[in-house]
Amino acid sequence: MGNKGDLMTFRPDIMVLDATMRDGGLVNSFNFSDDFVRDLYITNIKAGIDYMEFGYKASKEMFDVNEYGKWKFCDDEDIRAIVGENHTDLKIAVMADVGRCDYKKDILPKAESPIDMIRVACYIHQIPTALEMIQDAHDKGYETTCNIMAVSTVSESQISQALDILMQSPVDGIYIVDSYGSFVPETTRNLADMYLEKAEGSNKYIGIHAHNNQQLAFANSIEALSRGASIADVTVNGMGRGAGNCMMEQMLGFLRNPKFNIYPVIQFIEKHMVKMREECVWGYDIPYLLSGILNQHPKDAIRFLKEHRTDYTSFYKEQFEKL
Amino acid sequence: MGNKGDLMTFRPDIMVLDATMRDGGLVNSFNFSDDFVRDLYITNIKAGIDYMEFGYKASKEMFDVNEYGKWKFCDDEDIRAIVGENHTDLKIAVMADVGRCDYKKDILPKAESPIDMIRVACYIHQIPTALEMIQDAHDKGYETTCNIMAVSTVSESQISQALDILMQSPVDGIYIVDSYGSFVPETTRNLADMYLEKAEGSNKYIGIHAHNNQQLAFANSIEALSRGASIADVTVNGMGRGAGNCMMEQMLGFLRNPKFNIYPVIQFIEKHMVKMREECVWGYDIPYLLSGILNQHPKDAIRFLKEHRTDYTSFYKEQFEKL
């Protein structure tokens, strides 16, 4: 399923998911104030956003609850404290990482939960476990997506196989995930065409989650949408790991569907993100460009920038040695 | 003339022009140290850049030489002090603005000058004068381009007319210029197709000069090249007016022609641009995004950011009142 087409015109099928607290949570260890979260929830409603991802459903056996803010765990009662029964058009999503989530225990039946969608994130070799998690969430009554990470490091035949398997599952959406920010629009176009061809005839949709290493997160997201993807992940001010993500304000300034509204997002940035940018660091910088070009995990670049280094040539040489 | 095609493969026809001193000069009033300029010249040679634009040939009758650095005027002897007789593959360009250049007097015959190319910048209503300047430079022995600015504010039929006229001129290249950073790749694609269709059968090439208001300068440049444009303007670190330009390091990390080399650019950034970024401000920010989306001149955004304001909602409302 998927509508190609001219983005300058109105494409009512396009949905937007706010991943600020999930991908941005990787920047500040999920330490968002309740005031921030409540305002973001209201902003998303006003801005016409379709889904708000609150964070991860991470295993408390595996991660120390004292080391992270509560949105790494997304207990249903913590979400409910913000959204109540959420009688709005904004749906609530959380991410469940394969191997890092006690999903059988921690994901309650949908009827008892404020959550609408479980996004299962996995690497390609984890697809079998992802399928179990998708089935579990589906059986409990949730919408589901499968976000196959780091596909820039995987052969097309493997991706093709994974997609064939997913097409037999009850998953609702499948995401193209550019974890390393290494895609250029041409890469995105080719992958989007492949994912969409696999999804043809099913009622599954394709999504795009981009990283901004080469300042192409927005361009790649547009490209995927124009080929027929139906949902794009964005974050306010691009807040997300390393170079960050496609910015909500970019996307809402671009989409022509009158349900979207950029102004509340600008208000939110003025009130919360100016301060946030003083407290933690994300966004485009030379080391992210280089790790994106070289298709490397951003962790070295994150460490380099944390040390306030600007000896970019050393970084370049170090990255090359890892190839 | 123009080769479409897959950019992941080798497109030997693609040329790159370094506009750091010209567009970046608008940020620091053309006050580059000789050390900076000499290193940039050597960097460009090592990086495989095709053209280096040194600045403007601005009228000394109109502009006070004490108010600007020498690269606003680009006297031949100042260029020669850097490049000597320039026995390299790197060609030297300068920009001549219609109405702000005493071209008859200040542009010497090519045989006496280190300059190779005169880039004539004009608004659409200035095309007749641009033609005179192009003819003058051509007759003096220079390569020429015509850079029609702010085409995002002009109707397609006007652009079409301007292109028809330019096709009758001796101009070598015609630039798509996104002065306000308002293009998305779809806009660029449509304009590139139009410019290229007009140029078909001629030996004129098409260029792209992008601004980064929506963080789309790189994406728009790639898009134009993939449609058949032959030359892209870049600047080191994106240094240029307002949101800046497509970054040389982005473009060289992307192009597959082995003559291009990103490493000397990373060296130059480490040595010069880290310091430059402390001295003056350019690059993506919320007000530029908004002026780009609203297709407005960046001057209000530049002023807003100079005052270190973050009341983005006031800026948004002020810009809307001007529409």
Cα separation of A303 and A193, whole Å? 35
| DSSP states along B148-192 | E--GGGS-HHHHHHHHHHHHTS--SEEEEE-TTS---HHHHHHHH
Residue B139 domain-assigned (yes or no): yes
Q: Is B316 helix (H, G, I), strand (E, B) or coil?
A: helix
Asked whether B136 and B146 are in contact (CB, 8 A), the reply is: no
| Structure tokens belonging to residue A315 | 């970084």
Q: Are residues A296 and A264 in the same domain?
A: no
**pLDDT greater than 90 at residue A4:** no
- Record: contact A186-B6, CB cut-off 8 A: yes
Residue B25 domain-assigned (yes or no): yes
Distances (CA, A) of A3 to A7, A159, A176, B314: 11, 22, 16, 37
Q: What 8-state DSSP symbol labels residue A116?
A: -
Structural domains in chain A (count): 2
B105 Cβ contact list (under 8 Å, min separation 6): none
Q: Are residues B230 and B294 in the same domain?
A: no
Q: Is B64 helix (H, G, I), strand (E, B) or coil?
A: coil
Q: Supply the range of the domain harboring residue A310.
A: 286-321
Residues from chain A contacting residue B226 (CB–CB below 8 Å): 186
| Residue B187 Cα to chain centre, angstroms | 18
Q: Are residues B136 and B226 in the same domain?
A: yes
Long-range contact set of residues B298-305: C-beta below 8 Å, sequence gap at least 24: B298/B180, B298/B181, B298/B211, B298/B213, B298/B241, B298/B242, B298/B243, B301/B242, B301/B243, B302/B241, B302/B242, B305/B281
Using the Cβ of B263 and the Cβ atoms of chain A, whether some distance falls under 8 Å is answered with yes
- Test the A interface: residue of B272, B289, B311 with most A CBs within 10 Å: B289
Phi-psi region of B105 (alpha: psi -120 to 50; beta: other; left: phi over 0): alpha
Helix axes B217-227, B185-199, angle to 10 degrees: 30
User: How far off is chain A from B59, nearest CA to CA, in Å?
Assistant: 37
Quickly tell me which residue has 């973050």 as its tokens.
B310
| Structure tokens belonging to residue A253 | 């300034």
Q: What 8-state DSSP symbol labels residue B244?
A: -
Cα separation of B260 and B14, whole Å? 11
Cα separation of A50 and A27, whole Å? 23
CA B7, B254, A292: angle at the middle one, nearest 5? 125
Cα separation of B292 and B295, whole Å? 5
**pLDDT greater than 80 at residue A10:** no
Scored b (16 or more CB within 10 A) or e, B166-198 reads: beebebbbbbbbbbbbbbbbbbbbebbbbbbeb
State pLDDT tens for residues A269-295. 999 999 999 999 999 999 999 999 999
Cα separation of A215 and A187, whole Å? 15
Scored b (16 or more CB within 10 A) or e, A15-35 reads: bbbbbbbbbbbbbbebebeee
- Record: contact A215-B214, CB cut-off 8 A: no
Residues from chain A contacting residue B184 (CB–CB below 8 Å): 7-8, 222, 254
Nearest to B250 among A217, A274, A289 (CB): A289
Phi, psi (rounded to 5 degrees) for B200:
-60, 135
- Give the mean model confidence (pLDDT) for residues A214-236: 97
> Residue A115: which of A136, A139, A95 has the closest Cα?
A95
> Residue B227: which of B197, B263, B257 has the closest Cα?
B197
Using the Cβ of B42 and the Cβ atoms of chain A, whether some distance falls under 8 Å is answered with no
- Test the B interface: residue of A183, A216, A223, A278 with most B CBs within 10 Å: A216
User: How far off is chain A from B11, nearest CA to CA, in Å?
Assistant: 15
- Record: contact B186-A214, CB cut-off 8 A: no
Rg (CA), chain B: 19
State pLDDT tens for residues A125-154. 999 999 999 999 999 999 999 999 999 999
Q: Are residues A217 and A293 in the same domain?
A: no
Using the Cβ of A46 and the Cβ atoms of chain B, whether some distance falls under 8 Å is answered with no
Residues from chain B contacting residue A289 (CB–CB below 8 Å): 247, 249-250, 253
- Its pTM surpasses 0.90: yes
Phi-psi region of A235 (alpha: psi -120 to 50; beta: other; left: phi over 0): beta
Whole-number average pLDDT of chain A: 96
Among all residues of chain B, which has the CA nearest to that of A309? Answer: B270
- Record: contact A249-B214, CB cut-off 8 A: no
Distances (CA, A) of B66 to A42, B73, B102: 54, 11, 18
Distances (CA, A) of B251 to A226, A245, B18: 23, 20, 11
Residue A6 domain-assigned (yes or no): no
State pLDDT tens for residues A153-175. 999 999 999 999 999 999 999 99
Cα separation of A138 and A143, whole Å? 6
Among all residues of chain B, which has the CA nearest to that of A275? Answer: B310
Q: In chain B, positions 122-151, which contact chain A (CB-CB < 8 Å)? A: none
Count of C-beta atoms within a 10 Å radius of residue B323:
7
User: How far off is chain B from A109, nearest CA to CA, in Å?
Assistant: 41
Using the Cβ of B293 and the Cβ atoms of chain A, whether some distance falls under 8 Å is answered with yes
Provide the pLDDT for residue A1. 55
Residues from chain B contacting residue A284 (CB–CB below 8 Å): 215, 284
| Structure tokens belonging to residue B302 | 């530049």
Domain holding B232: CATH number?
3.20.20.70
Provide the pLDDT for residue A322. 79
Nearest to A270 among B270, B284, B313 (CB): B313
Q: Are residues A299 and A160 in the same domain?
A: no
Residue B8 domain-assigned (yes or no): no
| Structure tokens belonging to residue B269 | 């950034």
Q: Are residues B273 and B294 in the same domain?
A: no
User: How far off is chain B from A227, nearest CA to CA, in Å?
Assistant: 12
State pLDDT tens for residues A238-263. 999 999 999 999 999 999 999 999 99
Provide the pLDDT for residue A101. 97
Using the Cβ of B9 and the Cβ atoms of chain A, whether some distance falls under 8 Å is answered with no
Residue A266's pLDDT band, with cuts at 50, 70 and 90, is: very high
Distances (CA, A) of B125 to B121, B131, B219: 12, 12, 29
- The pLDDT profile of chain B, 323 residues, written as one tens digit per residue, is 567 766 656 788 899 999 999 999 999 999 999 999 999 999 999 999 999 999 999 999 999 999 999 999 999 999 999 999 999 999 999 999 999 999 999 999 999 999 999 999 999 999 999 999 999 999 999 999 999 999 999 999 999 999 999 999 999 999 999 999 999 999 999 999 999 999 999 999 999 999 999 999 999 999 999 999 999 999 999 999 999 999 999 999 999 899 999 999 999 999 999 999 999 999 999 999 999 999 999 999 999 999 999 999 999 999 988 77
Q: What 8-state DSSP symbol labels residue A86?
A: -
Q: Are residues A198 and A296 in the same domain?
A: no
**pLDDT greater than 90 at residue A199:** yes
> Residue A53: which of A101, A85, A21, A79 has the closest Cα?
A21
Q: Are residues B23 and B114 in the same domain?
A: yes
- Give the mean model confidence (pLDDT) for residues A182-186: 96
Cα separation of A199 and A192, whole Å? 10
Residue A8 domain-assigned (yes or no): no
- Give the mean model confidence (pLDDT) for residues A15-22: 98
- Strand pairing partners for A93? A53, A117
Q: Are residues B218 and B293 in the same domain?
A: no
- Strand pairing partners for B209? B177
- Give the mean model confidence (pLDDT) for residues A174-198: 97
Q: Are residues A292 and A226 in the same domain?
A: no
Nearest to A316 among B247, B263, B284 (CB): B263
Cα separation of A299 and A181, whole Å? 12
Using the Cβ of B8 and the Cβ atoms of chain A, whether some distance falls under 8 Å is answered with yes
Q: Are residues A107 and A65 in the same domain?
A: yes
Residue A2 domain-assigned (yes or no): no
Residue B67 domain-assigned (yes or no): yes
Q: Is A135 helix (H, G, I), strand (E, B) or coil?
A: helix
Residues from chain B contacting residue A217 (CB–CB below 8 Å): 215
Nearest to A185 among B185, B274, B310 (CB): B185
Quickly list H helices, chain B. 20-23, 25-28, 34-47, 76-83, 103-106, 127-140, 156-167, 185-199, 217-227, 248-254, 263-268, 274-279, 286-293, 299-306, 312-321
Q: Are residues B255 and B293 in the same domain?
A: no
Count of C-beta atoms within a 10 Å radius of residue A112:
10
- Record: contact A253-B312, CB cut-off 8 A: no
Count of C-beta atoms within a 10 Å radius of residue A139:
11
Among all residues of chain B, which has the CA nearest to that of A220? Answer: B219
Using the Cβ of A290 and the Cβ atoms of chain B, whether some distance falls under 8 Å is answered with yes
Cα separation of A205 and A207, whole Å? 7
Residue B3 domain-assigned (yes or no): no
ipTM, two decimals = 0.94
Inter-chain CB pairs, A–B, below 8 Å? 106
- Strand pairing partners for A56? A95
Q: Is A127 helix (H, G, I), strand (E, B) or coil?
A: helix
